[in-house]
Amino acid sequence: MVQRQLPKIPELLELMQFKRLELDGTKRRLEGALTIADLRKIAKRRTPKAAFDYTDGAAEGELSLARARQAFEDIEFHPDILRPAERVDTSVEILGGRSELPFGIAPTGFTRLMQTEGEVAGAAAAGAAGIPFTLSTLGTTSIENVRAANPGGRNWFQLYIMREREISYGLAARAAAAGFDTLMFTVDTPVGGARLRDKRNGFSIPPQLTVSTIIDAIPRPWWWFDFLTTPKLEFASLTTTGGTVGELIDSAMDPTISYDDLDVIRSLWPGKIVVKGVQNIADSKRLIDRGVDGIVLSNHGGRQLDRAPIPFHLLPHVVREVGTDATIMVDTGIMNGADIVASVALGAKFTLIGRAYLYGLMAGGRAGVDRTIAILRAEIERTMQLLGVSSLGELEPRHVTQLQRLAPVAAPAARRVPTRARA
Ligand SMILES: Cc1cc2nc3c(=O)[nH]c(=O)nc-3n(C[C@H](O)[C@H](O)[C@H](O)COP(=O)(O)O)c2cc1C
């Protein structure tokens, strides 16, 4: 028999813990976002369709991006038990400096199109979190203004070799003068990828006011208010070079770039140099042998060649061939801190996030980028603790395998028990 009684008022009061209503709408929205996927949903609601699709979309059938994300979802972790990891150290040394987390912000063009604070929000949030920020050649904030937004932190500059080489050399000189410590030479854009969502949306830069964009604007008045009341969207570092937006994009995609360009850039650039967009073992070896400071295994977030190799899958093969001393980085498809932990376990020295950053930006400007970084940081720390490692250096390939469509190929072999665990 259940014994019943009248509810006691003090006990009832104890149960009633009403949260104070957060009056700041942005804060309320962002606090409700627990994952990068949640930020994506908010971003989609708040951004005009054409701008959201430009960011969210990829090339052709978008298979490269979907596969890269699937590869991360198919990770299986192998934790060690009874290995205390009360506090974890997530910092790394990368390209001659420190980063508090094993990821940085990837270069993205047109960033103020997504949300008006654009690169300034990204650079300032990166600086506050102690991670590097990369400015794109096709950025919508100038080299000098990014420096002003992140004066004490690390800024990297992504270089497209333009058809008119002098333009690129001039940009590199300006980035060096502004204290950018690393140049990221992107090599996977001999021509532009076929972004079909953009074609279908009639996407243009700057956005045009058509009947459909006006209808689309009705539920998103703030984006349009920002767009119409802030400085013109343009390639801010290229304003003095002349040419329309279309001509400049055209010029940035040059099918004639070659290793000779890399040699010229290396002779001009005083800092570290990284090649981004490497997609096979032979090229990785060749670049490391040629003395570049690092490479980024990347398929440009699936925005160039569709059905390109999955960078996360390529990673252990490249590390095996070029050795663990080389600075191998990876991007494309990262949506969770666990993806980053797995990449480090398989030998990546660092990772880059593109859309994860942009979803945060679209969801809430600077505060949204802070939220992206906070979500990834918490996921990285928790994953490390659950694996039983307290520093990134303790992560090893044995911590990660890849599910083969959920069917184990064979029972995992008995593993060597680490000495610390035996003690
Ligand atoms: C909207 C957008 C614009 C981008 N613009 C550039 C760019 O200007 N230069 C570049 O090297 N990569 C660019 N990228 C690729 C990113 O640097 C990065 O490789 C990619 O976003 C990683 O994949 P993820 O978005 O899944 O993280 C862009 C990516 C996106 C989503």
**Is residue 391 classed as helix, strand or coil in its secondary structure?**
strand
**Which pLDDT belongs to residue 18?**
74
Pair 88, 394: CB distance under 8 Å = no
Q: Note the pLDDT tens digit of each residue in 353-397.
A: 999 999 999 999 999 999 999 999 999 999 999 999 999 999 999
Domains, the chain, ranges and CATH?
Answer: 41-399 (3.20.20.70)
Share in percent of the chain as helix, strand, coil (round to 5): 45, 10, 40
Cα 121 to averaged position of ligand 1 atoms, centre (Å)? 17
DSSP secondary structure letter of residue 21:
P
Q: Note the pLDDT tens digit of each residue in 125-180.
A: 999 999 999 999 999 999 999 999 999 999 999 999 999 999 999 999 999 999 99
Q: Note the pLDDT tens digit of each residue in 283-296.
A: 999 999 999 999 99
Task: Give the tokens for residue 373.
Answer: 């970084």
User: To which residue do tokens 């096979």 refer?
Assistant: 280
Q: Indicate if the pLDDT at residue 406 is higher than 60.
A: no
Packed helices 165-177 and 259-268: angle between N→C axes, nearest 10 degrees: 30
Q: Indicate if the pLDDT at residue 20 is higher than 80.
A: no
- pLDDT band, very low/low/confident/very high, at 239 (cuts 50, 70, 90): confident
Atom of ligand 1 nearest to the CA of 355: 25
Cα 13 to averaged position of ligand 1 atoms, centre (Å)? 52
Packed helices 118-129 and 355-387: angle between N→C axes, nearest 10 degrees: 20
Q: Indicate if the pLDDT at residue 99 is higher than 50.
A: yes
Atom of ligand 1 nearest to the CA of 55: 1
Q: Indicate if the pLDDT at residue 423 is higher than 60.
A: no
| Burial environment of residue 82 by CB neighbours within 10 A (0 to 12, 13 to 18, 19 or more) | exposed
Cα distance between residue 194 and residue 173, in whole Å: 32
User: To which residue do tokens 């960033």 refer?
Assistant: 111
Cα distance between residue 216 and residue 42, in whole Å: 16
Atom of ligand 1 nearest to the CA of 65: 26
Residue among 110, 195, 300, 375 whose CB has most ligand 1 atoms within 8 A, to mutate: 300
**Which pLDDT belongs to residue 419?**
56
Atom of ligand 1 nearest to the CA of 353: 27
Atom of ligand 1 nearest to the CA of 54: 1
Atom of ligand 1 nearest to the CA of 332: 23
Q: Note the pLDDT tens digit of each residue in 44-94.
A: 999 999 999 999 999 999 999 999 999 999 999 999 999 989 999 999 999
Residue among 298, 303, 334 whose CB has most ligand 1 atoms within 8 A, to mutate: 303
pLDDT cut 90: percent of the chain above it: 77
**Which pLDDT belongs to residue 306?**
97
As for ligand 1, residues whose beta carbon falls within 6 Å of it are: 55, 106-109, 136, 138, 158, 186, 276, 298, 300-301, 303, 331-334, 352-356, 358
Q: Are strands 75-77 and 400-402 parallel, antiparallel or unpaired?
A: antiparallel
User: What number of other Cβ atoms are within 10 A of residue 156's Cβ?
Assistant: 24
* Nearest CA residue ID for atom 14, ligand 1: 108
Cα 209 to averaged position of ligand 1 atoms, centre (Å)? 26
* Residues 6 or more apart in contact with residue 119 via CB below 8 angstroms: 111, 112, 133, 135, 139, 140, 141, 145, 146, 149
User: What number of other Cβ atoms are within 10 A of residue 261's Cβ?
Assistant: 17
**Is residue 350 classed as helix, strand or coil in its secondary structure?**
strand
**Which pLDDT belongs to residue 405?**
66
**Which pLDDT belongs to residue 345?**
98
Long-range contacts of 320-327 (CB under 8 A, 24+ apart): 321/281, 321/284, 321/285, 322/284, 322/285, 322/288, 326/288, 326/294, 326/295, 327/94, 327/95, 327/274, 327/293, 327/294, 327/295
Mean pLDDT over 3-25 rounds to 84
**Which pLDDT belongs to residue 204?**
78
Cα distance between residue 33 and residue 371, in whole Å: 8
Pair 357, 122: CB distance under 8 Å = yes
Active-site residue set: 300
Mean pLDDT over 252-274 rounds to 94
**DSSP symbols for 129-192:** HT--EEE-TT-SS-HHHHHHHSSSS-EEEEE---SSHHHHHHHHHHHHHTT--EEEEE-S-SS-
